[in-house]
Structure 1
Amino acid sequence: MNATILSNFRMNCNPQKMELLKDLRALFYPRICANCSQQLIQNESIICTFCRHDLPLTHFQSYTKNKINAIFYGRVTIEKAFALLFLRKKGITKNLIHKLKYQGTEEIGIFFGNWIGEILSENEEFSTVDFILPVPIHAKKQKIRGYNQVTKFGKCLQRHLKTPFLENVLVRKSANTTQTFKSRFERFNDLDTKFSLLNFTIFKDKHVLIIDDVVTTGATLEACALELLKTSGIRISILTMAYTE
């Protein structure tokens, strides 16, 4: 049964037939966990319940005093910072980030965007944010990959925080190799990443939330922040899906 038949079937369905349609779709197009590849059941999204319970949450209860803020101390002033998960050498987080970045599983960004968005919207810690800004990837790399891995993540945050998500205002000028799985020393000493802000007035006296998938040494995020700080009165916060221990 192909997708056209299923679509026609849906148009003439009563509730009982709709349930049958769902069963047929699950049979022919099973949804599987992005981590363990087991089939997802009803109400599960992207990863199964077992894998979700195994995710290494940071439990960063303080948004102004945590390990991410400590990374930037003495380098660049950060208002608030948060990451949902720890990223370790092996484990679920690394597997999910790899699939998000290199295997086109952008739904993982949606999953984390909704999860973190709900957390932040409930406690209003980031309620003063005026704009959400993704760490950009170089145009050449985006053309090859086809997407920026944090775009759908940012669009979900936009919906939860009711804050504009802006792309193509900050651009990456250097097409360096990926840093996610470099060693901490390599990332800290990578000084080749350069960014350019195309509009120095839009963020004047505004609070900007920079988002990325992972923070390790903070070198990339620091480079973004330093370029943004050329804007008068700007305040900067950091939000990532994961933090490398």
Structure 2
Amino acid sequence: MDRYGDMFKRLNADNAGAFVPFVTVGDPCIETSEKIICQLIESGADALELGLPYSDPIADGPTIQAASIRARESKVTTAQCFELLGRVRQKYPQIPIGLLLYSNLVMSAGIEAFYKRASEAGVDSILIADVPLREAKPFLAAAEHSGINQILIAPPNASDETMALIGEHSSGYTYLLGRAGVTGAETAAEIPAAELVDKLSQYQCAPPLLGFGISKPEQVKAAIDAGAAGAISGSATVNIIAQNLDDTRTMLAQLDTFVSAMKAATQKD
């Protein structure tokens, strides 16, 4: 099943882009995390990008680092995360589910074993934040063997050589960085020029989703106006969780409002 392909076909027919929220599985605990993930879907998320708790998330700013800390303090394990994802997949069979994580989590389990477990849980894609394209061969092989899309990152200053490699190996979608640095809603995305998106198309890369610094509906609209297929928002989503740790009902209500507004901004003129 090509859930990303089906999603992009549906969105093209609707003249819309994709909105993809990110949260860390297990934040702040397994029970609440499952409610959060289901709420994101019910509120209109087109796909999910999910992190697994990790001790040293070097590509993340303080907001998402704190999410990992909360999950680890709740003694959340990778096995519990996969069990949760399996339940979400059963409940929502069509939505694309992606993991964004770090290589140590994969390698400690064994690359093939990790990808197999992810596939069994219903995961559609894996993006490994700390593996450059030139070192991705074993991960690409495991992804192909397990039927998972290996998501590749296109930085704002990507060379033609990098673009060509992304075009050769990308599937699912391409993670287009809105700016350099670490994740965070505090620093606005530098929306890519249309020519960068055009270059991704020229090299037949998978559809680009813009990430890093996306926190407002107008940024989603600007990303889509620039030619991106959609936008990913992480820190802004996780901030809502962090601000409502003592009130799950309010947390879910605010997530609903946020996702609904971000999704509404994906409609093309």
The question of a shared fold, defined as TM-score above 0.5 by the shorter chain, is answered with no
Indicate the structure whose relative CO is greater, using CA pairs within 8 Å and at least 6 residues apart: 2
- TM-score w.r.t. the length of structure 1 is 0.33
Larger-gyration structure (1/2)? 1
Q: TM-score, normalised by structure 2?
A: 0.31
